[in-house]
Amino acid sequence: MDIPYNYDTSMLIKHLTVKTGSTILDHKEIKKPPRKIPNRNNNGHPTFIKPAYKQLRVQFDKQSAYAYFMKENYWSLEIENFVVRILLGNQDDSEYKKRTSKYFKITGLPLNTTAANLEPLIKHIYGRTCTFTQTTRYSTMKNAYIYVLPDNYPTNATNGASSQFEEYNLHILPGHLSIKTCNTCGSPLHESKDCDDKHFKINQYNHKIFDKRFINRNEEKITISKNHKNRYNHVISLNTNKNSNKMFQKSGFTPSQPNHQHTKDAQSGSLLYPHQSKQPYNNKDRYNNNNKYRYDTLYNPPPLNHPQNFTNDTTDQRITQLE
């Protein structure tokens, strides 16, 4: 039980096979239909919400698989960040009743609370497994149920207890106490309409919007330095130019090339980095007809990632050579 609704059960089947050393002969996934949320609608249409959990019923080929979970007293399996409860298929079995009859209700928990966060409390009340209630986008907190052995349950308890948890008040109530709790903060001392929680904002309609409760995980965010951003922007710019050239080639249009007539009045940039480093195809006639259109076939421009610094003397020599 308590398998997340969208979890791939094939992964769970493999896990159970490895754990028990038995083959699963048959299995059935059980999902409840979406539930209609009262007093909520979307443009006149009712709003439905999918269940938080689903069930998986499995049949093993060996009795040893049953013994592994029942005789070894395994009540749950922890997979990733959730806990799967283990129950018998027969609800009238004494073992099934032992695992479901006695529990504590925990209210006021932050929305991102996991079973691992509650481990100290679970151990304190001798809990064997726990499950969480379903939440919606309007929820400010959530509740949990911690199941215990009947021998460890306070049958004669007449009230609950409160405790601090991540700067919030949570409330621990024995399951047999049918106490209505606040849907905003989880307190059993008042109803939702009378909630005195101080963490709220007032919206444009003068209604209280209570803050959602979350555990601060203090997760570090990945940042990119300014230097890397500039380098990436440079790469993007180069790729844009490449794509532009490809578009010209596909359309059959050739961008106009700069005139490579080298004279003393030419700019140094055109001399240091000629547009072409070798003679173009079928350029022989141009050599014979007009010396002004010669291309420098001896000079190879430096790579762009290794800029070179030229002195004035070097520049003069290049100008003389090109002339």
Whether residue 72 is found in the same domain as residue 113: no
Co-location of 118 and 193 in the same domain? yes
Confidence bin at 82 (pLDDT 50/70/90): confident
Q: Are residues 4 and 70 in the same domain?
A: yes
Give strand pairing partners of 53.
Answer: 4
Check residue 111 and give its pLDDT. Answer: 96
Q: Residues 55, 129: one domain?
A: no
Q: What's the pLDDT score for residue 86?
A: 93
Is residue 234 in some structural domain? no
Percentage of the chain beyond pLDDT 70 is 66
Q: Which residues of 92-106 are buried (b: 16+ CB within 10 A; e: fewer)?
A: eeeeeebbeebbbbb
Residue 79 in any domain: the answer is yes
Asked if the structure places residue 318 within a domain, the reply is no
For residue 113, the domain's CATH number is: 3.30.70
Amino acid sitting at position 250: K
Q: Is residue 75 part of a domain?
A: yes
Q: Which of 160, 193, 218 is the last residue of a domain?
A: 218
Domains held by the chain: number:
3
Average pLDDT taken over every residue of the chain:
75
Together in a domain, 78 and 140: no
The per-residue pLDDT for range 206-232, each reduced to its tens digit, is 888 999 999 988 755 444 555 645 654
pLDDT recorded at residue 50: 85
**Are 68 and 119 members of one domain?**
no
Residues 6+ positions from 111 with CB-CB distance below 8 Å: 135, 139, 140, 141, 142, 212, 213, 214
43 or 273: which leads in pLDDT: 43
**Nearest residue to 148 via CA among 135, 157, 137:** 157
Supply the angle between the helices 9-20 and 63-70 in degrees, to the nearest 10.
90
How many other C-beta atoms are found inside a 10 Å radius of the C-beta of residue 129? Answer: 24
3-state DSSP of 210-243: ECCCCCCCCCCCCCCCHHHHHHHHHHHHHHHHHH
Question: Is residue 59 domain-resident?
Answer: yes
Q: Are residues 66 and 108 in the same domain?
A: no
Query: Do 167 and 194 have their domain in common?
Result: yes
Q: Which domain holds residue 286?
A: 267-306
Give percent helix, percent strand, percent coil of the chain, each to the nearest 5: 30, 25, 50
Same domain, 78 and 117: no
Residue 252 located in a structural domain: no
Per-residue pLDDT at 238 exceeds 80: no
Please indicate whether residue 323 or residue 74 has the higher confidence score (pLDDT). 74
Q: 108 and 67 in one domain?
A: no
Residue 196 has pLDDT above 60, yes or no: yes
More confident residue, 40 or 68: 68
Report the SS3 class of residue 103.
Answer: strand
Domain end marker among 184, 218, 252: 218
36 and 114 assigned to the same domain: no
Inside any domain, residue 316 = no
Closest CA to 105 of 205, 189, 181, 4: 181
Q: What is the mean pLDDT of residues 116-124?
A: 92
- Residues paired with 202 in a beta bridge: 208
Six-digit token string for 166: 């991540």
Q: Are residues 42 and 143 in the same domain?
A: no
| Residue 86 or residue 316, greater confidence | 86
Measured CA to CA in angstroms, residue 128 lies from 76, 170, 270, 290 at distances of 8, 20, 80, 95
Distances (CA, A) of 109 to 102, 127, 144, 173, 248: 20, 17, 8, 13, 61
Within a domain: residue 274? Answer: yes
